[in-house]
């Protein structure tokens, strides 16, 4: 189950990297999405991972924040984000993500990432023990709520 937990940390770290890429490309969106990014950072930590933030406050422009998915707590399972590679590739700038050039598109990009991860977690939580399933369900619900907030009124 450490593997499932490490993967969840890595997935959330990948999401943080997407937030950072969007904020780097659209600094004006930092205020709108900063609080959501902070919650995703807490998700990474809840799964035992770490996000090395450049700025003390995540509400600031997270341009240099490198989201690393190393789950410090997990002794064995390495959280190699092999699937997407996104989690470790966020050193700066857009982090290799193809962030849409318009703000609305950039928000939709984040909403889509939140929603699809929430969907995947909805399936993954059926395969793990109860306590981790509960955490995954909560974080998936938060992701769905984020997706709503990212696109409401647009």
Provide the minimum distance between the beta carbon of 142 and another protein in the complex, in angstroms, as a whole number. Answer: 6
5 binds another protein (CB under 8 A): no
Which listed residue (64, 73, 122, 151) binds another protein by CB under 8 A?
122
Which listed residue (46, 80, 89, 91) binds another protein by CB under 8 A?
46
Cα distance between residue 154 and residue 117, in whole Å: 21
Q: Is 3 or 35 the residue whose CB approaches another protein more closely? A: 35
16 binds another protein (CB under 8 A): no
Q: How many CB atoms lie within 10 A of CB 141?
A: 13
149 binds another protein (CB under 8 A): yes
Q: What is the signed CA dihedral for 124, 128, 131, 133, rounded to 10 degrees?
A: 20
Cβ-Cβ contacts under 8 Å for 114 (sequence gap 6 or more): 15, 143, 144, 146, 147, 150
Q: Is 5 or 146 the residue whose CB approaches another protein more closely? A: 146
Task: Return the closest-CA partner of residue 120 out of 11, 6, 3.
Answer: 11
Which listed residue (23, 74, 113, 135) binds another protein by CB under 8 A?
135
Applying CB under 8 A, the span of 34-42, 64-72, 77-85, 86-94 interacting with another protein comes to 34-42
Which listed residue (36, 67, 111, 117) binds another protein by CB under 8 A?
36
DSSP reduced 3-state for 133: helix
């Amino acid at each position: 189950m450490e593997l499932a937990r490490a993967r969840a940390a890595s997935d959330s770290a990948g999401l943080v990297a997407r937030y950072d890429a969007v904020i780097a490309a659209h600094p004006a969106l930092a205020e709108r999405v900063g609080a959501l990014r902070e919650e995703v950072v807490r998700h990474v930590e809840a799964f035992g991972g770490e996000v090395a933030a450049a700025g003390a406050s995540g509400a600031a422009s997270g341009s240099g924040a490198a989201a690393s998915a190393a789950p410090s707590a997990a002794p064995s399972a390495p959280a190699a984000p092999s699937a997407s590679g996104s989690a470790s590739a966020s050193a700066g700038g857009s982090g290799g993500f193809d962030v849409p050039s318009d703000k609305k598109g950039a928000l939709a990009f984040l909403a889509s990432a939140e929603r699809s991860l929430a969907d995947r977690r909805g399936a993954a939580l059926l395969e793990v023990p109860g306590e981790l399933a509960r955490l995954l369900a909560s974080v998936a619900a938060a992701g769905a709520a984020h997706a709503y907030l990212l696109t409401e009124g647009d």
